[in-house]
Amino acid sequence: MTTAYISEISKYEGQDVTLKGWLYNKRSSGKIKFIILRDGTGLIQAVAVKGEIEDKYFDLIEELTQESSLAVTGTIREDKRSPWGYEMTLKSLEVVHIAEEYPISLKEHGTSFLMDNRHLWLRSEGQRHVLRIRHEIIQSIRQFYYERGFTLIDSPILTPASVEGTSTLFETDYFDGKAYLSQSGQLYLEPAIAAFGKVYCFGPTFRAEKSKTRRHLQEFWMVEPEVAFNDHEDNIKLAEEFVSYIVAWVLEKCGRELDALERDKTKLEKVKAPFGRVTYTDAVERLKKEGIEIEWGDDFGAEHETVIGSWFETPVVIEKYPAKIKPFYMQPDAENPDLVANMDVIAPEGYGEIIGGSQRDHDLERLKKKVIAQGLPLESYEWYLDVRRYGSVPHAGFGLGIERTVAWLSGSKHIRETIPYPRMLYRLYP
Amino acid sequence: MTTAYISEISKYEGQDVTLKGWLYNKRSSGKIKFIILRDGTGLIQAVAVKGEIEDKYFDLIEELTQESSLAVTGTIREDKRSPWGYEMTLKSLEVVHIAEEYPISLKEHGTSFLMDNRHLWLRSEGQRHVLRIRHEIIQSIRQFYYERGFTLIDSPILTPASVEGTSTLFETDYFDGKAYLSQSGQLYLEPAIAAFGKVYCFGPTFRAEKSKTRRHLQEFWMVEPEVAFNDHEDNIKLAEEFVSYIVAWVLEKCGRELDALERDKTKLEKVKAPFGRVTYTDAVERLKKEGIEIEWGDDFGAEHETVIGSWFETPVVIEKYPAKIKPFYMQPDAENPDLVANMDVIAPEGYGEIIGGSQRDHDLERLKKKVIAQGLPLESYEWYLDVRRYGSVPHAGFGLGIERTVAWLSGSKHIRETIPYPRMLYRLYP
């Protein structure tokens, strides 16, 4: 007997196959019993009619509890009334394991309970859809950079220093010294552009921030491209092309998941380059006119980002922030040295910042001065400064946060559902 | 003027283009000057003939030091004598940055010096080839699991407990408690199979081992598939298919790099499923006959693996180790409960173990007993045991180490060259 997955069931129309999975639901209607089987790739209904199937199998259905594991064998029929397109006429079944009473029922559960049972909650349809969208987003990212000739440069997690200060770093003993968990691969990508031209890294990053919001995780995944000879405009163009590519991929591959999550796809269909664009300075002016409290020189908070996002139907690029609120490695703006050639991309519909990036300062002397001015130890950055000593070139890059992108595209209200096992303040288990 | 990358230069034959990169080398022959330009995607020679190019450009070449960055513009010509297939007739050039005296020359350097300058060493051709092979291996892995319907489940790095004891764990404060850097995603994948059927994770893993060998890194990348309803034989079949796929991909995509590294490709062409196979018990017997010191119940060391690897031209699967030297979660062998249904895959040519895996014990009561017998805290494993409470199924998986696979396929003698920024004992910089 052929063993098949539900996702490929259309290939077996009219044939007998075995499917293996878990009992999602069952019901009875007189002499007919219905089993809904879940195998991780899809759902299917199997129908047993008393008299047409051996009694021992018919009776066995009675014993099945929710989430029991089993193998069902029968004939696959197309069924247009079924939400899954196909049904099975059951011929036999084999019980693998009768589940204990399953703690997650179809009724509402509290968040804390669901998070304590994250390892089981993963089985729920809503969670599965979000994580399938995550899976496709990540595949689209790998494909995007592969097609464009970028070389993957896995940057280290254990690092001696940090890009943006040490207050939010996880620290560990490293033999006779200390190491810190990486917050960004950028410093490691910049030297690599001189070897490979176009590079990217993609891995977990860490923030030991004591913030507990819908948008923060202590451990999250980030993809960061870095390109030699790219300037500020090239950087924005790459970001627009990249985000548009991800969205088009998800629309193509995840139609079923988006529908099941009741995501408004027409909003995603509008995500095409070029995006809306506004300078930091103009955004501050407009926010003030709209009566929102902010002064030039303040950083934007989540509420500001939501308002700015609402000005456009596409994502919006905010560019040229004040240098004094940005890290030392950013290239000064060509026209106004109080500004930097940076850009953030804000997702629409209130999903916040998904990208932050900049052209990098490639002038050795200016960069040295900034490292010293910020009170950073120059000797820790010598290797990073070497990029400017040996064939310095203009270059630019950015980072895209995976979980925020998943939240946006799947329409998840809380970032904790966008990663299989979220790490949050006071949440390290399971 | 069109700006192009060297990798796509064949598209521009007969046309004028601009190429941007770094000076790899230059030489002079009377009225002709040759520049070799490197842009991260390839190398090309540009030729300047006095009288045919403006004098100011001809003279500028004199100023160029090794690794200076520049843009060259000229006409692309096919040239069969050139190792790169094409040459440029130079029309103009622009200096971006004159490099300081470059510390890495073509002469031999000591390993310590090269590792201290890893951020620059990346630019050397040999290092570039190895990391391009790494890049292609990783892309092939993503593609392999994507094509086969596996769902990516990123497992957490910050974990409360460990699979194999705490002595080799990096520890960090996690707000009011402690967290440990993950050594494997397996425990997190097993619950996910009940949600997705076939899953994999792929990320950095950590060992705080005080070992300093050619084969060890403190931080390395591992890919781990886990499949519901797979048994020991299915597990071996998946591993064989997987490794064969990677090797075929690398042979197809990295011919030039393998040749440059003088890798014997005929050896790689023999890597096809099924692989050689030997039980642990038979391997011990044969090692003894060959006069090598080992007793049944000992674990294999690197030298044993090398000898066992030499018995076959393909990789070799060693299966069914003594239960007492393996972790608690492995399924007992069906015929002999002193053995487990595990397997290691050893690469040929002395490159050692690249895969370790097993069928997982899916019997709740037996697993509980083993957790207790090993002195592990049962309450930390309750969530893991839940996989056996709610629809337990036979399942199996394995982990493949990326750096060892890169070392094997690229023919690198030392694992430190198989990752962009290696983390080793006493090596955290750059």
Determine which of A390, A402, A427 to mutate to test the interface with B (most B C-beta atoms within 10 Å). Answer: A390
Q: Which residues are CB-neighbours of B414 under 8 A, at least 6 positions away?
A: B214, B407
Residue from the list A119, A128, A210 with its beta carbon closest to the beta carbon of B191: A119
Scanning every residue of chain B, which has its alpha carbon at the shortest distance from the alpha carbon of A151? B135
Positive or negative, the CA dihedral B93, B96, B102, B107 is: negative
* DSSP states along A314-329: S-EEEE--BGGGS-TT
- Work out the pLDDT band at A69, boundaries 50, 70, 90: very high
B99, B196, B429 member nearest A391 (Cβ): B99
Using DSSP, state whether B47 is helix, strand or coil: strand
Q: Which residues of B touch A174 (CB under 8 A)?
A: 170, 218, 428
Return the pLDDT at A106.
73
CATH code that applies to domain B118-418 = 3.30.930.10
Q: C-alpha angle A282/A287/A288, rounded to 5°?
A: 100
- From the number of C-beta atoms within 10 Å of its C-beta (0-12, 13-18, 19+), residue B43 rates as middle
Does the pTM surpass 0.90? The reply is: yes
Answer yes or no: are the C-beta atoms of B160 and B179 closer than 8 Å.
Answer: yes
Chain A residues in contact with B43 by the CB 8 A cut-off are none
Per-residue tokens: A182: 């990486």
Determine the residue of chain B that is closest to A200 in CA distance: B135
Sheet holding B171-174: strands in order across? A158-159, A177-181, A171-174, B171-174, B177-181, B158-159
The string of pLDDT tens digits covering residues A359-411 is 999 999 999 999 999 888 888 899 999 999 999 999 999 999 999 999 999 99
Q: Where are the domains of chain A?
A: 2-97, 118-418
Which residue of B37, B360, B388, B390 is the best one to mutate when testing the A interface, meaning the one whose CB has the most A CBs within 10 A?
A: B390
Cα dihedral A137, A139, A144, A149 sign: positive
CA distance A287 to chain B (A): 36
Cα separation, A232 vs A339, whole angstroms: 13
Q: Write down the residue that tokens 């000898």 correspond to.
A: B307
Residue of B nearest to A203 (CA): B203
pLDDT recorded at residue A216:
85
Q: Which residue has the tokens 């456009």?
A: A312
pLDDT in tens, A283-342: 999 999 999 999 999 999 999 999 999 999 999 999 999 999 999 999 999 999 999 999
Task: Tell me if residue A305 falls in helix, strand or coil.
Answer: helix
Whether residues A393 and B153 touch (CB distance < 8 A) is answered with no
Q: Give chain B positions within 8 Å (CB) of A420.
A: 153-156, 188, 192
Residue predicted with more confidence, B212 or A36: A36
Of A117, A197, A206, the CB nearest to B5: A197
Nearest to A395 by CA among A274, A196, A185, A234: A234
pLDDT (tens digit, 9 = 90+) per residue, B369-427? 999 998 888 888 999 999 999 999 999 999 999 999 999 999 998 999 999 999 998 88
Q: Provide, as residue numbers in chain A, all residues whose Cβ is less than 8 Å from the Cβ of B424.
A: none
Name the residue in chain B with its Cα closest to that of A170: B172
Q: Residue B134 and residue A152: Cβ atoms within 8 Å?
A: yes
B56-B57-B58-B62 Cα dihedral, nearest 10 degrees:
90
CB–CB of A156 and B393 under 8 A? no
CB-count burial class (<10 Å; 0-12, 13-18, 19+) for A345? buried
Test A228 with B41 for CB contact under 8 angstroms.
no
**Shortest Cα distance from A261 to chain B (angstroms)?**
17
Residues of B in contact with A430 (CB under 8 A): 188, 191, 383-384
Closest CB to A154 among B39, B221, B384: B221
Contacts by residues A330-336 (CB-CB < 8 Å, ≥ 24 positions apart): A330/A358, A330/A359, A330/A360, A330/A361, A331/A232, A331/A358, A331/A359, A331/A360, A331/A361, A331/A362, A331/A394, A331/A396, A332/A361, A332/A366
pLDDT at A105: 85
Cis peptide, bond prior to residue A348, ω within 30 of zero: no
* Residue A166 CB-density burial (10 A; 0-12 exposed, 13-18 middle, 19+ buried): exposed
For residue B418, give the nearest of A35, A153, A346 by alpha carbon.
A153
Query: Phi/psi class of residue B39: alpha, beta or left (left: φ > 0; alpha: ψ in -120 to 50)?
Result: alpha
Q: In a mutagenesis test of the B interface, which of A383, A428, A429 is the best target, namely the one with the most B β-carbons within 10 Å? A: A428
What is the least distance, in Å, from the CA of A343 to any CA of chain B? Answer: 24
Rg of chain A in Å (alpha carbons): 26
Domains B2-97 and B118-418 share a fold: no
At A99-141, the pLDDT tens digits run 999 999 877 899 999 999 999 999 999 999 999 999 999 999 9
A100:B389 CB<8 A = yes
Q: Does domain B2-97 have CATH number 3.40.630.10?
A: no
What percent of chain A clears pLDDT 70, i.e. is strictly above it?
A: 99
Of residues A132, A229, A390, nearest to B151 (C-beta): A132
Residues of B in contact with A125 (CB under 8 A): none
Which residues is B401 bridged to in the sheet? B222
- Measured in angstroms, the CA of B164 and the nearest CA of chain A are apart by 17
Question: Is residue A120 within 8 Å of A229, Cβ to Cβ?
Answer: no
Of A69, A159, A208, the CB nearest to B392: A69
What residue type is A324 in one-letter code?
K
Nearest to A21 by CA among A39, A35, A9, A33: A39
CB contact under 8 A, B386 and A120: yes
Q: Dump pLDDT digits (tens) for A220-267.
A: 999 999 999 999 999 999 999 999 999 999 999 999 999 999 999 999
Q: Which residues of chain B have pLDDT under 50?
A: none
For range A45-57, the mean pLDDT: 96
Whether omega before B274 lies within 30 degrees of 0, making that bond cis, reads: yes
Per-residue pLDDT of A163-204, as tens digits, reads 556 678 999 999 888 999 999 999 999 999 999 999 999 999
| Amino acid occupying residue B35 | I
Report CB contact under 8 Å: B23, A391: yes
